[in-house]
Amino acid sequence: MKKIAVFCSGQGTNLQAILDAIRKKRVKATLALVVSDRKRAFALNRAERAGVETIVLRPRDYPSRRRYEQRLLTLLKSRRIEAIVLAGFMRILSPTFIRAYRNRILNIHPALLPSFRGMNAVQDALAYGVRVTGVTVHLVDDGVDAGPIVLQEPVQVRPHDTEHSLHERIRRVEHRLYPQAITLLLEQKLRVEGRKVKIVR
Ligand code: GRF
């Protein structure tokens, strides 16, 4: 079974969806490690409840980003992690780190990229007045929210949506899409050709 790590900073509802998909054998992988950059991330409770090893790595405990990421890579290598899933991880990884896991890092973004990149995608989409937003799962490259797109799905914006109500509907789609994308990656069904990802079935 392939070993994966999930990186989180917050609630961890996507982590939960991945844990559930693994339990139901919809994703054939071992979740060997959950990494958080915040001690209080609720995601850590979810991982512990599922018996998954957790590690908190706080950047402020390291003299530089390089040293922080070196430690991260050492941990990943020692546990033979083959792919990394970013699920609400609020840090940007350096090109050096990304190169070590080239085309093996997935991210999920709560908008239809390339619209509404960045930390406040749901709020920004609402403020812009779009009628449709959505979810993007993409491979991570050196740009922010910029790598080749694996899966996307639209979500309608309703007239009385708040950031919270819209994000909840987006999350529901995320929880279904992310396990699918992880399976495609682990089963080596993704062929990256420049910006495009071909899915071979
Ligand atoms: C998700 O909406 C994801 O798209 C974004 O951060 C949020 C994380 O939510 N990158 P959760 O912690 O998985 O509930």
Nearest CA-CA partner of 183 in 20, 34, 28, 66: 28
- From 42, 105, 108, give the residue whose CB has the most ligand 1 atoms within 8 Å, as the site to mutate: 108
Q: Which residue has its alpha carbon closest to ligand 1 atom 5?
A: 88
Active site residue 138: no
Catalytic residue from among 109, 138, 167, 175: 109
Helix (H, G, I), strand (E, B) or coil at 85: strand
Cα(165) to centroid(ligand 1), Å? 14
Burial (CB < 10 A; 0-12, 13-18, 19+), residue 94, is: middle
Distance CA 2, CA 187 (A): 9
Q: How far is the CA of 192 from the centre of ligand 1 (A)?
A: 25
| Residue 201 confidence (pLDDT) | 85
DSSP secondary structure letter of residue 5: E
pLDDT digits (tens, 9 = 90+) for 138-154: 999 998 899 999 999 99
Which residue positions in the chain have pLDDT lower than 50?
none
Tell me the CB-side half-sphere exposure of residue 4, using CA atoms within 13 A.
25
Q: Cα-Cα-Cα-Cα dihedral of 105, 172, 20, 107, to 10°?
A: 10
Q: How far does the centroid of ligand 1 lie from the alpha carbon of residue 87, in Å?
A: 6
Q: Are 45 and 77 in contact (CB under 8 A)?
A: no
As a three-state string, the secondary structure of 126-146 is: HHHCCCEEEEEEEECCCCCCC
pLDDT at 36: 98
Q: What pTM does this model have?
A: 0.97
